[in-house]
Amino acid sequence: MTDNVRDVDDLRGQRSLRPLAGVLAAMAVALTGTRISALALPWFVLVTTGSATQTGLVAFCEMTPYVVVKALSGPLIDRIGARAVSWTTDLASAAAVAAVPVLHALDLLSFALLLALVALIGAIRGPGDLAKEIMVPEAAERGRVPLARATGLSEMAERLTSTLGPAAGGALVVLLGPMAGLAVNAGCFALGSVIIGLTLPRDMGRSPAVAPSPDAENEPGYWRRFGEGFTFLRGELLLLTVIVTIAITNLLDAGFFMVVVPVWAKESGNGPGAIGLLGSVMGAAAVGGSLLAAVIAHRLRRRVVFFAGFLVAGAPKFLVLACGAPMELVLIVFAISGFGSSFLNPVLGAIYFERVPRPMWGRVGALGSSLSWAGIPLGGLIAGASVAFAGLVPVLFASAAVYFLTTTLTGLRPEWREMDDKDRPGIRQCQ
């Protein structure tokens, strides 16, 4: 069946699960490669330089352009269409990632050139990730799947990559070296681009507000669209409070996974295999939790789920490493953490798509996502400098305390009561 026929069927109200399956598959493939790279690249820098600070600098150089470009890409995605942005950026990401092992094999990869390449990779990946995220609710509409269930399935796909990615990354690094992991990452991006191009209708991801119009000269420009998204977000206190909370926890998690865990693995003698094992156990538990969330999350009180999930997903994983617990206990705590975290994104995704009008998904999503990710570039940099200055254990204890206070005290704000309010303009425009 051609794309045109599928589009006509959708317009007539025919149910089609193919777009949702395509978006989820593309997300899973691209994120699997990213998870492999997230293990391989820090390990490569750590073992070649022996510096936690330089390892954090690499993470900073990748995530800073990721966040900045993602923030600025929303109006362009609204105008061009998420499908087009997704497959083109995935293809460009594949080329940029592939350049790292190629240059290393030719003995041309200096540290400065590596920093430039990871910055380019981050800048390209940001819009591609956002484009896939904002196609999930439209794909759910086409398949007549409840929004909370679709966001739960999206979370499950992401968590599945957190299981497969670290396991594959750890095995590749141990057997073939970290550059093999980056080569696989490039292949995953290329495959994700192909999936988007073949499975999604051509009109997928195009907001009704940016469909071709005879009065194109009067359409708002880039900066006006950007300003509209900022103005809307500024008036949504619940979304702003959530964004600030997530920004702080993302900063702590980024430093934890990009720098602290590799340093712990190196100092404890467990090596990269332990990093992969921890990530896989955490991811496997999260997959199970995501399956459960996809089935029952829309029936639960969101505030209870949100704060209970953070309680078990946050501070305990820092504390178990700080206390020098045996590996068996570390694995149990990471599994519980993964299970608890799997309920967070379905709640956040449903709240976002319910409160934001559909024509503004791209620009508001870009701003919100980028603000919540703003701490990630600093996470690796701060963690690397802190570990070099104070040592691993004090950093772990301090991070656990900040994580607990952030996710507990913010719950006292009055905006959180709106989390269970589903009668919002955004969801009405989606129906």
For the chain, the straight-line distance linking the first and the last C-alpha, in angstroms and rounded, comes to 27
Per-residue pLDDT of the chain (431 residues; tens, 9 = 90+): 334 434 434 444 566 788 888 888 888 888 888 888 877 888 888 878 877 778 778 878 888 888 788 877 777 777 788 888 888 888 998 998 899 889 988 888 888 898 999 899 988 888 888 888 878 877 888 877 776 677 767 777 777 776 777 777 777 777 887 888 888 888 988 998 899 888 888 777 665 544 444 444 455 566 676 677 777 777 777 788 888 888 898 889 888 888 888 888 888 877 777 887 887 788 778 777 777 766 666 666 777 777 888 888 888 999 999 988 888 899 999 999 888 887 777 777 767 767 777 667 666 766 777 778 777 778 877 888 888 888 899 999 999 999 998 888 776 676 666 666 554 444 334 33
Q: What is the CATH number of the domain that holds 285?
A: 1.20.1250.20
pLDDT at residue number 3: 43
Within-domain flag for 380: yes
Q: Which domain holds residue 54?
A: 13-207+222-430
Q: Is 38 among the domain residues? A: yes
User: Are the beta carbons of 366 and 338 closer than 8 angstroms?
Assistant: no
With respect to residue 35, please indicate whether it lies within any of the assigned structural domains. yes
Q: What pLDDT does residue 426 have?
A: 43
Cα 99 to Cα 114: distance, rounded to the nearest angstrom: 10
Token output for 396: 């772990």
| Assigned domain for 60 exists | yes
Query: 3-state SS string over the chain?
Result: CCHHHHHHHHHCCCCCCHHHHHHHHHHHHHHHHHHHHHHHHHHHHHHHHCCHHHHHHHHHHHHHHHHHHHHHHHHHHHHHCHHHHHHHHHHHHHHHHHHHHHHHHCCCCCHHHHHHHHHHHHHHHHHHHHHHHHHHHHHHHHHCCCHHHHHHHHHHHHHHHHHHHHHHHHHHHHHHCHHHHHHHHHHHHHHHHHHHHHHCCCCCCCCHHHCCCCCHHHCCCHHHHHHHHHHHHHCCHHHHHHHHHHHHHHHHHHHHHHHHHHHHHHHHCCHHHHHHHHHHHHHHHHHHHHHHHHHHHHHCCHHHHHHHHHHHHCHHHHHHHHCCCCHHHHHHHHHHHHHHHCCHHHHHHHHHHHHCCHHHHHHHHHHHHHHHCCHHHHHHHHHHHHHHHHCHHHHHHHHHHHHHHHHHHHHHCHHHHHHHCCCCHHHHHHC
How many folded domains does the chain comprise?
Answer: 1
pLDDT score of 71: 74
> Does some domain include residue 5?
no
Asked if residue 217 is part of any domain, the answer here is no
Give a yes or no: residue 6 inside a domain.
no
Per-residue pLDDT, 329: 92
CA 285/CA 334 separation, integer angstroms:
9
Domain contains 200: yes
> What pLDDT is recorded for position 332?
92
Q: Which two tokens stand for residue 425?
A: 């303009």
Q: What are phi and psi of 301, to 5 degrees?
A: -75, 125
Q: How far apart are CA 382 and CA 385, in angstroms?
A: 5
